[in-house]
Amino acid sequence: MQAYLGIDLGSVSTNFLVLGPNSAVLAHHCLRTQGDPITAIKAGLTQLKKQLAPGVIICGAGSTGSGRHLAGVMIGADTVKNEITAHGIAAAHEIPAVQTVLEIGGQDSKIIILRQGMVTDFAMNTVCAAGTGSFLDRQAERLGLSIEHFGQLALESKNPVRIAGRCAVFAESDMIHKQQLGHSMEDISRGLCQALVRNYLNNVAKGKEILAPILFQGGVAANRGIKQAFEEALEQEVIVPKHHAVMGALGAALLAKQTVSRKKKSSFRGFEVSHWNFKVRTKHCNGCSNTCEVVKITAKGQILACWGDRCGRWSADPLVNRLNA
Amino acid sequence: MLVKIGIPRALLYYHYFPLWECFWGHLGLEVITSPPTDKSVLDRGVIAAAPETCLPVKVYYGHVLALAKAVDYLFVPRIISAQKGTYICPKFMGLPNMIKHSGYDLPPLISPTLDTNRGKKSWQRAHIQAAQGLGYNKKKALTAWRYANYRLRLYREKLQQKRTPLEFLNHDHSLPRSFTSPTILLLGHPYNLFDEFTNMNLIRQLYQYGYQIITPEMLSPVIIEREATQLPKHLFWSLGRTILGTAFHCLKNSPVVGVIHLTSFGCGPDSLVGELLERRVNKLSNLPFLLLTLDEHTGEGGLITRLEAFLDMIEWRRSS
């Protein structure tokens, strides 16, 4: 059976998805990157292999996310795509009529506007991570709740408290204050969900025309409190797709399928890369006063890729160029 | 030994370097321009500058410090206006004061006040007075001014032949550009567009992705002014006015496939002009629009992700 692999190597989580014929999702897996993307990819591939039925052949692979280049080099991806395009493609695949995609991930959040199946506009959070998954993670932890439980709790609130969502630091102190006043955990949770949504709509979605159907994807979409808060604020239905947490990986797999159908041959290295010993070395290049931090990745005694230099002295390696082509 | 005057390679240097380098050079001073921005320039600037300033001003500080030990005088003009009825950003007006009181041991500043609102010949007068202050006679200074002005005019004419300051600054004619590839309208202040370090080689990257660009420098100021007067209210920020005028002209007359607005974090005028620009672009066209904000990050990740997604948007439309 022919299948395509997509990997979304994000700052907080690394997601894998295998797409079979007729767009069936044959396997998917999410794990925390925990600052060690190489281990995350190896572990993920091992897991995925176990889930797949024998006879499934990976005919192409794609990577996306902030670590897409690393992932791409490790697995020998056919396509390395930015996460905005990947999410847009996955959304349009899931619901062809989609016009708005709200995506909240670990450390970034974005809005993608589609019209007639084409991405026409997008925006990403800039310097502030106040409205993202890691912020929610941290606050849930502070309240002593698991992140899953936290969203559920918000649904039980009748009188949400108002929490300043403009800045993560102020939100936290505001929340502590509300706790000291004796507000219930439910009301605080819901207040926090509303604050996050308010912040997202004011900063990331500022000035964008949000039209239905609206898809909500990314890790945070699992949080039903946030979904509800979005629906209240937008006064419209917000759809959370089945594979909301792995939409980036789905997009990468779809793109890989497209690329391979064009170039006829895949450069995927196979699942055995999970046994390879990848070495990453950072060196400060002394070629000029920019002293770029150059990253060199090697495996099996071969340099797979270099990057991080501004001038191209190290990264102008044929292998990397082939990958980016 | 020649007297050395230092010109920081920052802010409006990209607009006026032929004028300033030729003026002081023609008078017989040794002109030393600071090296292109690099990590050490940026790092020093960020530490030295007042915390609430914008990135380009911080970079300016870095260039000033790069020159401090090497020159006898520092040329830090007080630019108020370059066109009647308009103003450059207030930070430019206070620049000599900011630099002077930065607490660093700096050579004396040469800071003529350049304000076209004080008369057509204000720039000329101020430059000549500055030269006189260094002991040059008026006649010689006037000759130098005329020559420098002529060089500036030549430079601008060349830019209007679809060239960028990069070609003149880096003596690098190997930029892989092509006049047949699709055109992206690249808007922004010259010090954001042409400082290749802070903008992470944006122009080069666009060339490599197979696009050519139009920047405000490539249009005649007459055209820009004509378009800018169509705004319902007089916009008195000259750089913002240039951006909008360029956009109006190109959206109507050039086959542009997308618009990028490059700005720096903390830019006051751009916070308003950028909003106006985005709305106008959406009204006049349905072209993809990308706002890129530069800050002190040296990681390219964020910029590349946005740029790639933007170019995907363009490709998508072109292929469908």
| B235 and B315 housed in the same domain | yes
Q: How does residue B172 score in pLDDT terms, banded at 50, 70 and 90?
A: low
Q: Does A4 touch chain B (CB under 8 A)?
A: no
- Which residue among B291, B309, B317 places its CB closest to the CB of A85? B309
Residue A324 pLDDT class (50, 70, 90 cuts):
very low
Helix A168-180 and helix A133-142: axis angle, to 10°? 20
Same domain, B65 and B145: yes
Taking contacts as CB-CB distances below 8 angstroms, the residues of chain A near B312 are: 81-82, 84-85, 119
Question: What's chain A's average pLDDT?
Answer: 88
Of A271-285, B125-139, B182-196, where does mean pLDDT reach its minimum? A271-285
A230–chain B Cβ distance below 8 A for any pair: no
Nearest to A127 among B289, B295, B312 (CB): B295
Domain CATH code at residue B56:
3.40.50.11890
Q: What is this structure's pTM?
A: 0.89
Q: A135 or B210: whose pLDDT is higher?
A: B210
* B171 pLDDT above the threshold of 70: no
- Per mean pLDDT, which range of A256-270, A286-300, B190-204 is the poorest? A286-300
Closest-CA distance of chain B to residue A271, Å: 27
Average of per-residue pLDDT across A244-265? 94
The domain boundary residue, chosen from B142, B159, B176: B159
Q: Chain B contact for A288, CB < 8 A?
A: yes
Stronger pLDDT, A107 or B198, i.e. the higher one: B198
Which among A66, A85, A285, A313 is the top mutation candidate for probing chain B, defined by the most B β-carbons within 10 Å of its own β-carbon? A85
Instruction: Assess whether B13 and B138 both reside in one domain.
Output: yes
Residues B286 and B202 in one domain: yes
Q: Are residues B180 and B306 in the same domain?
A: yes
- Find the range with the poorest average confidence among A109-113, A127-131, B13-17: A127-131
**B261 has which bridge partners?**
B187, B291
Q: Which of A120, A123, A290 sits opposite B39 (nearest CB)?
A: A290
- B175 pLDDT band (50/70/90 cuts)? low
**What is the distance in angstroms between the Cα of A289 and the nearest Cα belonging to chain B?**
7
Instruction: Answer yes or no: do B30 and B111 share one domain.
Output: yes
3-state secondary structure of B231: coil
pLDDT digits (tens, 9 = 90+) for B221-257: 999 999 999 888 888 999 999 999 999 999 998 889 9
Q: Is A120 on the interface with B (CB under 8 A)?
A: yes
For residues B181 and B155, state if they share a domain.
no
B193 and B148 within one domain: no
Q: What is the mean pLDDT of residues B19-44?
A: 94
Give chain A's radius of gyration (CA, Å): 21
The answer to whether the Cβ–Cβ distance between A124 and B306 falls below 8 Å is yes
DSSP collapsed to 3 states, A208-252: CCCCCCEEEECHHHHCHHHHHHHHHHHCCCEECCCCHHHHHHHHH
Q: Tell me how far apart the alpha carbons of residues A324 and A70 are, in angstroms, rounded to a whole number.
A: 12
Q: Which residues does chain B have within 8 Å of residue A118's beta carbon, measured at their own beta carbons? A: 313, 316-317, 320
Confidence of residue A322 (pLDDT cuts 50, 70, 90): very low
pLDDT digits (tens, 9 = 90+) for A193-217: 998 899 899 888 988 999 999 999 9
Please tell me the distance in Å from B308's CA to the nearest CA on chain A.
7
Same domain, B178 and B86: no
In tens, the pLDDT along A152-165 reads 889 999 999 998 87
Same domain? B83 vs B172: no
Question: Mapping DSSP to helix (H, G, I), strand (E, B) and coil, where does residue A137 land?
Answer: helix
pLDDT tens per residue, range A120-133: 999 988 766 666 78
Question: Could you tell me which chain B residue has the CA closest to the CA of A206?
Answer: B275
A113 DSSP β-pair partners: A100, A121
| pLDDT, position A321 | 47
* Residue B188 DSSP one-character state: E
Task: Provide the domain count of chain B.
Answer: 2
Q: List C-alpha distances in Å: A23 to A268, B235, B272, B277.
A: 20, 53, 46, 41
In order of A55, A73, A273, A313, the CA distances from A268 in angstroms are 17, 10, 10, 26
* Closest to B266 measured CA to CA, from B205, B189, B203, B213: B189
Chain B residues touching residue A66 (CB < 8 angstroms)? 301, 305
Lookup: tokens for A22:
């007729």
Most distant CA pair in chain B, distance: 66
Across the interface, which of A84, A119, A207 has its CB nearest the CB of B305?
A84
Say if residue B36 is preceded by a cis peptide, omega within 30 of 0: no
At residue A187, the pLDDT reads: 92
Query: Which residue in the block uniquely carries the two structure tokens 């995609």?
Result: A101
Q: Are residues B48 and B111 in the same domain?
A: yes
B206 and B183, same structural domain?
A: yes
> Given B99, B131, B159, which residue is the final one in a domain?
B159
Which residue in the set A81, A118, A288 is minimally distant from B317, CB to CB? A118
CATH number where B178 lies: 3.40.50.11900
What tens digit of pLDDT does each residue of A174-193 get? 888 888 999 998 999 999 89
Examine the fold and report which residue of B103, B131, B159 is the final residue of a domain before the chain moves on. B159
Residue A317 has pLDDT above 60, yes or no: no
Q: Report yes or no: A307 at the B interface, CB cutoff 8 Å.
A: no
Instruction: Give the pLDDT score at B79.
Output: 95
Min distance A290 CA to chain B CA atoms (Å):
5
- Asked whether the beta carbons of residue B312 and residue A82 sit closer than 8 angstroms, the reply is yes
Nearest to B301 among A66, A121, A289 (CB): A66
Q: What residues does A238 pair with on adjacent strands?
A: A214
Mean per-residue pLDDT over chain B, rounded: 92
The encoded tokens of residue A90 equal: 């996955």
Structural domain for B40, as ranges: 4-159
pLDDT tens string B73-98: 999 999 999 988 899 998 999 999 99
Q: List chain A residues with CB under 8 Å of B289.
A: 121
